[in-house]
Amino acid sequence: MSSTIIGHWHEGAPWPGAAERRGDVYDPATGQVTAQVAFASGDEVDAVVAAADKAGRAWGATSVARRTNVLFGFRNALVRRREEIAAAITAEHGKVLDDALGEVQRGLEVAEFACGAPHLLKGGHTDAASTGVDVHSLRQALGVVAVISPFNFPAMVPLWFVPVAIACGNAVVLKPSEKDPSTSLLLAECWAEAGLPAGVFNVVQGDKVAVDALLEHPQVAAVSFVGSTPIARYVYETGTAHGKRVQALGGAKNHMVVLPDADLDDVADAAVSAGFGSAGERCMAISVVVAVDPVGDELVPKIAERMAGLRTGDGRRGCDMGPLVTGAHRDKVAGYVAAGVDAGADLVVDGREVAPDGAADGFWLGPTLFDHVRPGMPVYDEEIFGPVLSVVRVSSYDEALALVNANDYGNGTAIFTGDGGAARRYAREVEVGMVGVNVPIPVPMAYYSFGGWKASLFGDTHAHGTEGIHFFTRAKVVTTRWPDPASRHGIDLGFPQHT
Ligand code: NAD
């Protein structure tokens, strides 16, 4: 049993808390427990929120120039420490180092976007909206906001929200996944290095107890959540019932539609990259290839051939694909492989037979491919969140579109074709929040907003970009008339009209 206890970040410094309840943290490539993470109690969450509230009030009143200066410092600290952060991600999540660096890069881009927040925080001004009356608008911070993040992007997902919230003048309490908690503390160190005042960025480690304490806390004004759909729905319903603004991003089942005119070598490369990158533990992973006839017969062998060249193993050894995050998750995903066989899908490549380049006790499952998958099979109907790619065969574009639109999820999708008209139609007709045309993982840039439709997002606002600025601020409109001896009005009980 490891003696290292990963604690919280409170009042600008590491804070062990009482750590009466704890969880094990694993290195997924070895299967060994490397540390324990403290689980915050309700009282500990209260203490952190109270300090955040105090610090947030001062931060919200700090000049935009000074806040921006801190944002630039944070961005520079992330650049300086990106390799250290990536190593921490690989050690607890398992994804290969290059992929971890990529996640830091995409998070860094949001920090860079947030450096330009003053441009989006500007209000409008109308001179002489009415005679002698001017109107201006402003956006003000909410106060304390909570960010609750999943295991699969321990750096990028917090970074979708935290820099934007802080640039807008809020204080943040981050509750990271208990499976890979260390990255959150490295982010906290980066904020401290940047000169962010103590109490503006905070971390509470923990489980449902900490989440519930945040959802019910009267001083928490808003919650940004990312995780599985059942928990996203719960967070949305509980948070809004407690009067909070909530954006809760949920699970996914992303389809890649392949039309007969597509370049099938490009398609096979894209399907393998998007299906098995990060061992399929990405909310934007492709999990279903929708092959429009006659594509399937030629495409499936091309995908299988590429899969044979992938090396699964320890993410620190230059492998293509790492382990799954925990033993329990690996077993669950392997259970879906068995269920796919039972349901009658064709198992083309069986990842359960993988020979990993890593320790025997690592949480291994190799890339897996099913063909002739149909709705109604668990392997199609449920989010697997592992290295399992399913091919569904359909006879036409219309059948492909109907299949995608009938799915409960609506996070990401892609269409592969050389036909611009068909691609344009798909982008308009598909009921999904993020669409790629010959791009398998269409994650929006930081200055756009990230978010899905249907069961992939509860709430109205997507993450980062202009929508992020709006989520973390309240708008106010001020109507002003200064006394002017030339325009005295006297008493008028009528409803104000514009003259
Ligand atoms: P999860 O829902 O199990 O956990 C997410 C967060 O909720 C964690 O911080 C966890 O501690 C907390 N939590 C878990 N159970 C809870 C409960 N009963 N009550 C209150 N809080 C609880 O998700 P995960 O397994 O960490 O992450 C994988 C999921 O996240 C997948 O479904 C994936 O699609 C989704 N995801 C979605 C997006 C997106 O942008 N839509 C991005 C990344 C991940």
Per the prediction, the chain carries an average pLDDT of 97
- Residue bearing the bigger pLDDT, 325 or 490: 325
Rounded to 10°, the helix 97-115/82-93 angle is: 130
Residue nearest to atom 30 of ligand 1 (CA): 227
Q: Report long-range pairs for 61-66 (Cβ below 8 Å, ≥24 apart).
A: 61/169, 62/169, 62/197, 64/118, 64/121
Candidate from 25, 92, 177 with most ligand 1 atoms within 8 A of CB, to mutate: 177
- Give the atom of ligand 1 at the shortest distance from the alpha carbon of 457: 41
Candidate from 211, 214, 325, 462 with most ligand 1 atoms within 8 A of CB, to mutate: 211
Residue nearest to atom 20 of ligand 1 (CA): 208
**Cβ–Cβ under 8 Å, residues 240 and 220:** no
Nearest to 67 by CA among 188, 182, 200, 183: 200
Ligand 1 centre distance from Cα of residue 233 (Å):
11
Candidate from 223, 231, 233 with most ligand 1 atoms within 8 A of CB, to mutate: 231
Cis before 483 (ω within 30): no
Domain locations in the chain as residue ranges: 40-250+456-478, 254-437
Q: Which two tokens stand for residue 457?
A: 């997002």
Ligand 1 centre distance from Cα of residue 281 (Å):
12
Ligand 1 centre distance from Cα of residue 20 (Å):
23
Ligand 1 centre distance from Cα of residue 387 (Å):
18
Percent of the chain having pLDDT more than 70?
98
Percent of the chain having pLDDT more than 90?
96
Candidate from 25, 103, 106, 151 with most ligand 1 atoms within 8 A of CB, to mutate: 151
> Quick count: other Cβ atoms within 10 Å of Cβ 83?
12
> What per-residue confidence (pLDDT) applies to 485?
75
Residue 1 has pLDDT above 60, yes or no: no
Q: Point out the residues that are catalytic.
A: 283
- Residue range 57-70: average pLDDT? 98
- Give the atom of ligand 1 at the shortest distance from the alpha carbon of 251: 34
> What per-residue confidence (pLDDT) applies to 428?
98
Look-up: residue for tokens 């944002």? 71
Ligand 1 centre distance from Cα of residue 148 (Å):
8
Ligand 1 centre distance from Cα of residue 214 (Å):
15
Rounded to 10°, the helix 82-93/64-80 angle is: 70
> What per-residue confidence (pLDDT) applies to 487?
65
> What per-residue confidence (pLDDT) applies to 300?
98
- Residue range 278-287: average pLDDT? 98
Residue 448 has pLDDT above 80, yes or no: yes
> What per-residue confidence (pLDDT) applies to 492?
83
Rounded to 10°, the helix 156-167/64-80 angle is: 160
**Ligand 1 neighbours by CB, cut-off 6 Å:** 148-153, 157, 175, 177-178, 207-208, 211, 226-228, 231, 249-252, 283, 383, 385, 411, 452, 456
pLDDT in tens, 363-404: 999 999 999 999 999 999 999 999 999 999 999 999 999 999
Task: Report the CATH number of the 40-250+456-478 domain.
Answer: 3.40.605.10
pLDDT in tens, 454-488: 999 999 999 999 999 999 999 999 999 998 877 66
309: helix, strand or coil:
coil
- Give the atom of ligand 1 at the shortest distance from the alpha carbon of 383: 32
> What per-residue confidence (pLDDT) applies to 495?
83
- Give the atom of ligand 1 at the shortest distance from the alpha carbon of 149: 9
pLDDT band for 497, please (50, 70, 90 cuts). Answer: confident
Residue nearest to atom 13 of ligand 1 (CA): 208
Residue nearest to atom 9 of ligand 1 (CA): 177
> What per-residue confidence (pLDDT) applies to 498?
66
Burial of 74 from C-beta contacts in 10 A (0-12 / 13-18 / 19+): buried
Residue 2 has pLDDT above 90, yes or no: no
CATH entry, 254-437, from 3.30.50.10, 3.40.309.10, 3.40.1020.10, 3.30.565.10: 3.40.309.10
Q: Is the pTM of this model over 0.95?
A: yes
Nearest to 376 by CA among 343, 333, 414, 425: 343
Ligand 1 centre distance from Cα of residue 230 (Å):
9
